[in-house]
Structure 1
Amino acid sequence: MTSDEGADPSTLPRRQLGRFLREHREAIGLSLAKAAALAELSQAALQRIETARTKKIRALDVRGLCELYEVTGDETLRALDLAEQAKVTSWYTAFAGLYSDPTFNMYVELETVTQKMVIYNEIVPGLLQTPDYARALISAFYKDHDDEDIARRLDLRVRRQATVTRRAAPVELEVLLHESALHRQIGSPQTMSAQLHHLAELSKRPNVSLLIHPFTSGCAHGLLHGAFMILNFGQDAKGTASEPPLVYFEGAGKPDLYLENPADIRRYTEIASEVRTAALDEARSRELLRKAARSFTA
């Protein structure tokens, strides 16, 4: 086994490329052995690509696999871009450009395979937004886009929420919401009232923990750290992590950023722990949400 396939750690681009190729192979019903033979690769080589255990990835092979799997032109470009990034070992990854479109948003894809998420934010996270609240945010950010594009982005955001509300294995979601989100008006007063009541109801779900971080708690870790998400992907049958955890920062006009360094994961886990300790408990958080909701319709 070479260093590329052993000591060299997997990275987010390698894992995403492997997942992309595996899902497209399975979608057309090809076995690993059959796909490897048709692509003129060894089965071991294709397996290493799919499991992110190599950075020796040739663009020629990726293009051939995409043709074999009947992947569209835009998706092929995406796979080739991942293949180029997969050659580099880095503790952080920035995605923009091709990945800023809702169809190819990297975070949205990761969200579908995440088992546990810890979110700190100062606005209501997308997974918990009502359609009216989401529409107000999307329309303000994409104010130069047409109604059809706004509707497409809104539809995707609403459909993503099934990861929280589905009956089968919903994501375990912990939301640490700064109190400012309860008072920063997004849309109309009625929109805000409905949104806050919606949060209070969602917080009753067994897979959702929603804690309000009050103004009186100051700054966790002594800094204004801004919004972040910690994504955990669960464990395999042997009890080891299926994939390394990630810290995600939404770019808001800039490239989205992903951190994989264990020191960074540890740092933001500690920040989340400090916020959690300083936050109101679930009952008082729910009470504050309902009180703030009433204030918008008083």
Structure 2
Amino acid sequence: MTGTDADSDATPSSTLPRRQLGRFLHDQRDANGFTIAAAAKLVDLSASALQRIEAGQTQKVRKQDVRALCELYGVDPSETDSAVDLAALARTQGWYHAYGGLYSDAYNMYVGLEAAARQQITYHEHIPGLLQTADYARAIISAYPGFSSRDDIDRRVEHRLKRQAIVTRKTNPVALEVLLHESALHRVVGNRRIMAAQLRHLAEISKLNNVTLRIHPFEAGLTWGMPYRLFAILYFDAGTRNDPIEPPIVYLEGGPTPDVYLEKPEEVRLYSELAAAIRSVSLDEGRTRELIRRVTKEFERDQH
């Protein structure tokens, strides 16, 4: 029996790092054409142990096993270090998690969760990444003081656009509900030409069957009487008895500070209630598109 075969901790740890680690290792194995049995044998694990690691079911994942798997799959050193960090975080006790600076752009924490989710409900005060045009994304990314290289900016823009495939793909696209504050339509990102094109794109993509877009108008005031951070609630596939294989997660965008992930059921429920409260005072989809088109015309007119 290997060190990962026995997994009987009494105190629960966060499922988030081990779920992310499991996805990463599964994707790397799949990309390199290894079966679970073949990969496990080559790193001296049992097939069942590797299967549980990939499923995020093993709380105590040994760092040496993760490093051996990464070496087998040809993972570069920085990605390997990030994977080993995830193995260490898999032992974290408690439910509140703030992560920052640990994950590469190629496979960071949120992008992995986003790609695995079947449904996402999100509140934003700027156009969310999944609905951005290339020019809008470039204007946002290039404004950050840490991103000065054109190649680096272009790579990040390309990566952001690739993420959008989960919305536009024909097979099993994510069910996306966006609650967008009206200020996002008026805040100029880049220039007025970029804004006009972005809003035209927003109106069109909101017609997709899997996308629901509602504007939270200025006149609705402050829901619950308090400011709140940009958030996303991610829901994952259900099992055969309609029990979730993975529990839902709330993601709070940190901006210059670390992002926060909440897994505790009552916290997820609280944000679900907040989303419902925002939705209840938001414009319906038809009025949302009318407002977007009206603001688009203002940007188009002001270009001349």
SS at match of 1:297: helix
CA RMSD of aligned residues (A): 1.8
Q: 2:162 aligns with which of 146, 159, 165?
A: 159
Q: Among 203, 221, 226, which residue is 2:224 paired with?
A: 221
Deviations 1:91-129 (A, max 9, x none): 132222232x42232212222111111110111101111
1:9 Cα deviation from its structure 2 partner:
5.7
1:66-105 equivalence runs, <5 A: 66-99=70-103, 101-105=104-108
Aligned to 1:62: 66
Residue of structure 2 aligned with 1:196, choices 190, 199, 215: 199
SS at match of 1:175: strand
| Counterpart residue identity of residue 248, structure 2 | P
Matched, 1:22 2:26: yes
| 2:248 aligned residue | 245
1:177 alignment partner in structure 2: 180
Shift of 1:264: 1.0
Which stretch shifts more, 77-86 or 8-17?
A: 8-17
Which residue of the partner structure matches residue 127 of structure 1?
130
Paired with 1:271 and 1:297, the residues of 2 have a C-alpha distance of 35
Mapped partners of 1:2, 1:267: distance in 2: 32
CA distance in 1: counterparts of 2:165 and 2:50, whole angstroms: 32
Where do 1:131-142 residues align within 5 Å? 131-142=134-145
Are positions 1:257 and 2:260 aligned together? Answer: yes
* CA distance in 2: counterparts of 1:117 and 1:16, whole angstroms: 17
- Cα drift, residue 55 of structure 1: 1.8
Aligned to 1:205: 208
Q: For residue 230 of structure 1, what is the aligned residue in structure 2?
A: 233
Contact 1:142 1:150 (8 Å CA) reproduced: no
* Residues 217 and 201 of structure 1, relative CA distance in 2, 3 Å threshold: same
- Measure how far apart 1:7 and its partner are: 7.1
SS of 2:300 mapped into structure 1: coil
Structure 1 residue 10: Cα displacement: 5.4
Using structure 1 for the length normalisation, give the TM-score: 0.93
| Worse-matched range after superposition: 186-195 or 265-274 | 186-195
Letter in 1 for 2:212: S
DSSP-derived class of the 1:68 partner: helix
1:173–1:207 contact (8 Å) kept in structure 2: yes
* TM-score after normalising by structure 2: 0.91
2:7–2:60 CA contact under 8 A, matched in 1: no
Partner of 1:33: 37
SS in 2 for 1:57: coil
Q: Size of the alignment, in residue pairs?
A: 296
SS at match of 1:296: helix
**One-letter amino acid of the structure 2 residue matched with residue 217 of structure 1:** A
1:3 positional shift: 3.5
Q: Is the 8 A contact 2:206 2:212 kept in 1?
A: yes
| Partner amino acid, structure 1, of 2:63 | A
Q: Is the 8 A contact 1:55 1:88 kept in 2?
A: no
Partners in 1 of 2:245 and 2:7 — Cα distance? 22
Q: Cα deviations across residues 198-249 of structure 1 (Å, max 9, x unaligned)?
A: 1111111111100001111112222111211111112133322121111112
Paired residue type of 1:136: A
Contact 1:177 1:213 in 2 (8 A): yes
The alignment-based identity, stated in percent, is: 51
Q: Give the deviation of 1:260 after TM superposition.
A: 0.7
Q: Which runs of 5+ in 1 are unaligned?
A: none
Segments of structure 2 that go 5 or more residues without pairing to the other structure are: 1-5
CA shift for structure 1 position 268: 0.5
Give the deviation of 1:18 after TM superposition. 1.5
Q: Distance in 2 between matches of 1:144 and 1:247?
A: 27
Q: Which moved more, 1:9-18 or 1:115-124?
A: 9-18
Matched, 1:112 2:115: yes
